[in-house]
Structure 1
């Protein structure tokens, strides 16, 4: 969720058709919730919707850059919606966020809106937005494509002081680039402000209370919304939760352990399928992957799509990308076979590029820069390289294949020009309506224990468990999860706490 090298990518990467529900009901929305003092002009604005193709409508909603200075500079939040199919039976807007931070909510809705259940699409406008600093909403842009290529290729499992110093230099460069190119935005791109923006959007789109689906980092955003505006919660589904109590480095360590769990599940699947090229037991497969990564650290792989060499860091990123979605496991088997047998990293590099939204022309979306900018200001960071290195050492012991890569990927935050001194604390959202948290037991990017923790912290939290693989559960085709979530979103009636879908 935090490190730029291991962004929690959008929940819908491989999307199965979602199943709708036949339940009717819910609370019809009108914009009558209280308006914070001094923000009336923002809350009462009337968006001008325009057709933007394929049945979608787009607009821009204005919010203050700095909520303490609402008359100052403004940020335009890009919004898209697929209007409800039955206007006469419309309940309101279903706001969505796909994760990241840094994932484009407008792109998500264009890709995924029609995979939501039929009854949801009948009763709700499916709404996506790019949070401040992301994609079409005044994006944070710090690095060139060449600079990001260099950053991602840098060895982030340093074996000696020289490699550590090189990594530190890249982290400083990243931070300095953002200080130079995004000075005005950096203090204001954090999740607290994004949650306040979401309340402005709720009111501007005419909803009395918020109905919301958030995946991965989107759960963090949703939880912060509920904490700040508990009375404005109608129904929130938080899928693949992030634990707000975790420190910045503890979060990275736990995420690395999640990738190890997912790799073990991948190995088990390979062995179970038979003719596994990497070993005849789970431990043998893991040993093969470890040996391959160590060899790639010494001798990077070639690739056939451009002049880049596939370093150990890029190879690890490619493996991680495939672990997000179980449907990618056959692709990962092919990619590893190509890399191990032919020293050809083309498929792994393609996966890595997809993860960080690198385009074929060598340019990147704003995802990486925005991800780092938001994460670095959301929580306190270690004060220096030495302290940070201790966390990386701990991570390597806990997660030998992914620990160093995940933790060192967040190193630019040590040198970030804007620091947050407020320590993480539980989010309770006292007074909020029931909030459903979905946790996937073998989720690589947001470990299941985080969903358990968030559901426990929330005063009205309800835990819904998916005993499965991959990152997040909703929209991945499991009828049990989809039916329970859809019924709740439509009626605001949650499933029984502790329900497990298998």
Structure 2
């Protein structure tokens, strides 16, 4: 989640490429008013050709405690319904992360949503603070500290966390020195407030929301803080919302998630169809796991030069590539090819783009900023050493990374504000959808969100692997259930499986 989804796929997608400022809002039905907040959104064309996507800029307080003080700008995007007679409102698309771009997600998912929902909604998204075309923060980190495999705090080959401790302290100190008010404004609570400012600017009394991964936590928090402004809410791939741990708990859940999901990759990589593609890693699915673990151990001892100068393929880079590949079946081929290249004498592995160099400074800042600003991370260095040792033994695929220390343990200033506990109070208007084999937000963690929401929610458990179910990695049954809810408000009477 995004630190689950975002620290892997979502962060790899973060950029300002589609965040083109833009112009003039077409009509929005049932507006609250036509006042200044709505008029402030000046829309212009942006995004892929033929999608009818538009972009604008929304201004919000940098610090909501000082609403008339410094302001921040957010990149906003929409795809209008195109069928006024069918339109019932606005659907906000909330990305994962922290670090995912809502503008880019709308570009990617817009065609499928337009087809599936038939003009029932104006589709709207925004880049959260620190992301894409929105206000940026920067910790001024060295290149080495901006590599994803280092930001993820993978332990050393022998399980030592000494390097992780030193790097985490260095990153926290740099962020305290260079991040300023912009960095401290990167919080879930502010994203929730920004969502409601966007609702006001759109002139809507209520909004529906589709939140994915970390976006489910944002959406659930929105429902807790602004229940009267919610219509129909979809939480896609949720994790434990425990306010004592928040992202620290999400990260630890990834160890279980990788174990839940790996069998899908093993079955794919051992299937006879892979032989003709040159990607069959073993004849039996049960042999794929020891092959990958042995290869990672060999790369720990002797990294292999890759096609990226100065960035060899290490055991931890291979493990990080695996974790990313488990998000979607469509990524299996790339990881299998990397394994083949790593195991072939004389071959030079081609690293995934997200692992071939340092991420931009602003992306690195939002990666650590939100999760460290939200809650105090618990534990001494000694406790992390014990936790990593236990996690490595129990979950070899992730080698202790989910239990390791992060910059949050040395964060200056502590949490910006007290995290909000989710409750079962409020409208019963939430539909959850969750994979049974999710590498980032495992089903067992999603059940904790389900319990927190109580009678407000229903859960659809999808018998498929991957992260992000609706119109993505799920199945026709799950997609139908979500679409029916968004179009009619109808939910299953009880939690169901698909």
Q: Which range, TM-score by smaller chain?
A: 0.7 to 0.9
Residue in structure 1 matched with residue 260 of structure 2 by the alignment: 261
Aligned residues of 2:325 and 2:335 also touching (Cα < 8 A): yes
Matched, 1:496 2:498: no
Matched, 1:434 2:429: yes
Which region of structure 1 is more displaced relative to structure 2, 284-293 or 414-423? Answer: 414-423
Residue in structure 1 matched with residue 235 of structure 2 by the alignment: 238
User: What SS does structure 2 have at the residue aligned with 1:128?
Assistant: strand
Residue in structure 2 matched with residue 336 of structure 1 by the alignment: 339
Among 345, 349, 354, the residue aligned to 1:346: 349
Task: Give the distance between the partners of 1:406 and 1:461, measured in 2 at CA.
Answer: 29
Task: Give the distance between the partners of 1:42 and 1:172, measured in 2 at CA.
Answer: 45
Residue in structure 1 matched with residue 154 of structure 2 by the alignment: 156
Distance 1:367 1:208, change over 3 A: same
Among 300, 304, 315, the residue aligned to 1:301: 304
Among 65, 74, 90, the residue aligned to 1:93: 90
Distance 1:212 1:384, change over 3 A: same
Among 470, 475, 479, the residue aligned to 2:471: 475
Task: Give the distance between the partners of 1:198 and 1:5, measured in 2 at CA.
Answer: 20
Q: Tell me the CA shift for residue 114 of structure 1.
A: 0.9
Q: Tell me the CA shift for residue 30 of structure 1.
A: 3.1
Among 190, 215, 223, the residue aligned to 2:212: 215
Among 414, 422, 431, the residue aligned to 2:409: 414
Among 59, 67, 70, the residue aligned to 2:67: 70
Task: Give the distance between the partners of 2:406 and 2:422, measured in 1 at CA.
Answer: 26
Q: Tell me the CA shift for residue 404 of structure 1.
A: 1.6
Residue in structure 2 matched with residue 49 of structure 1 by the alignment: 43
Distance 1:151 1:233, change over 3 A: closer
Distance 1:190 1:11, change over 3 A: closer
Q: Tell me the CA shift for residue 132 of structure 1.
A: 1.6
Among 114, 122, 125, the residue aligned to 1:125: 122
Aligned residues of 1:302 and 1:344 also touching (Cα < 8 A): no
Q: Tell me the CA shift for residue 145 of structure 1.
A: 7.1
Which structure 1 residue ranges, 5 or more long, are not aligned? Answer: 14-27, 34-40
Residue in structure 2 matched with residue 310 of structure 1 by the alignment: 313
Residue in structure 1 matched with residue 9 of structure 2 by the alignment: 9
Task: Give the distance between the partners of 1:3 and 1:199, measured in 2 at CA.
Answer: 24
Q: Tell me the CA shift for residue 150 of structure 1.
A: 5.5
User: What SS does structure 2 have at the residue aligned with 1:142?
Assistant: coil
Task: Give the distance between the partners of 1:233 and 1:5, measured in 2 at CA.
Answer: 24
Aligned residues of 1:10 and 1:215 also touching (Cα < 8 A): no
Residue in structure 2 matched with residue 175 of structure 1 by the alignment: 172
Q: Tell me the CA shift for residue 395 of structure 1.
A: 2.1
Residue in structure 1 matched with residue 21 of structure 2 by the alignment: none
Q: Tell me the CA shift for residue 149 of structure 1.
A: 5.2
Task: Give the distance between the partners of 2:117 and 2:437, measured in 1 at CA.
Answer: 28
The correspondence of residues 358-377 of structure 1 with structure 2, limited to 5 A, is 364=360, 366-377=362-373
Among 320, 325, 329, the residue aligned to 2:323: 320
Q: Tell me the CA shift for residue 329 of structure 1.
A: 1.4
Task: Give the distance between the partners of 1:45 and 1:374, measured in 2 at CA.
Answer: 30
Q: Tell me the CA shift for residue 407 of structure 1.
A: 3.2
Distance 1:51 1:278, change over 3 A: closer
**Number of paired residues?**
472
Q: Tell me the CA shift for residue 449 of structure 1.
A: 1.7
Task: Give the distance between the partners of 2:340 and 2:129, measured in 1 at CA.
Answer: 41
Residue in structure 1 matched with residue 24 of structure 2 by the alignment: none
Distance 1:89 1:160, change over 3 A: closer
Among 195, 200, 205, the residue aligned to 1:203: 200
Give me the TM-score of the superposition, normalised by structure 1: 0.85
Distance 1:8 1:219, change over 3 A: farther
Matched, 1:287 2:290: yes
Q: Tell me the CA shift for residue 195 of structure 1.
A: 0.6
Residue in structure 2 matched with residue 454 of structure 1 by the alignment: 449
Residue in structure 2 matched with residue 36 of structure 1 by the alignment: none
Q: Tell me the CA shift for residue 456 of structure 1.
A: 2.4
Output the aligned Cα RMSD: 3.0
Aligned residues of 2:234 and 2:432 also touching (Cα < 8 A): yes
Task: Give the distance between the partners of 2:424 and 2:196, measured in 1 at CA.
Answer: 15
Aligned residues of 2:43 and 2:56 also touching (Cα < 8 A): yes
Matched, 1:465 2:461: yes
Q: Tell me the CA shift for residue 4 of structure 1.
A: 8.3
Residue in structure 2 matched with residue 388 of structure 1 by the alignment: 384
For each residue in 1:371-398, what CA deviation from the matched residue of structure 2 results, as whole angstroms up to 9, or x when unmatched?
2111112222025322333332332233
User: What SS does structure 2 have at the residue aligned with 1:430?
Assistant: coil
Distance 1:121 1:7, change over 3 A: farther
For each residue in 1:461-481, what CA deviation from the matched residue of structure 2 results, as whole angstroms up to 9, or x when unmatched?
110111001112111263222
Aligned residues of 1:145 and 1:364 also touching (Cα < 8 A): no
